[in-house]
Structure 1
Amino acid sequence: MVVRVDDESQHIKDTKLRIIYLELQRATQMMRPCNIKPVKIIKNGDGWLCILGDGFPVELVRGYGKTPEEACLNFDKAWCGEAD
């Protein structure tokens, strides 16, 4: 297979853009409230809790979900005042 210079150049540009995109995703993930606050993720019955604070009933913020990730997403929403 012969690769033209233009095709190779475009491939390099696409690869660099993909790397930038992945780094942005990583940075965004690391800035989530559940990652920068000292939260606890605990199993609670059939679900999971992500809490900030010493526990019931005085936790400051909490999120509940069927999975740890869902609990963390709900914690982030609660932290930002977007909870249901």
Structure 2
Amino acid sequence: SGGQQQRVAVARALANHPSVLLADEPTAALDSFRGRQVMELFRDVARQHGAGVIVVTHDHRTLDVFDTIYEMEDGVIQVTTAELSH
């Protein structure tokens, strides 16, 4: 299934303990529960290994797991985490 393939791709990306992890729509083929698990895994791996994580997503339901969020529109940063919390 698409979700299973997505989870395998995530595991493969994390296997080499990268210093920066770039993920483009990593939750696209996943349900809400699995999508949250993937985002939490990215966060946890980043914290454990001192890595950076850059996620491009349209799925706003899972963004709260990250410390810093930037929202872009037409290639321009419109909102940051600090602005989202107000």
TM-score normalised to structure 1 length: 0.24
| Higher-Rg member (1/2) | 1
> Relative contact order (C-alpha < 8 Å, sep 6+): which is higher?
2
* TM-score, normalised via structure 2 length: 0.23
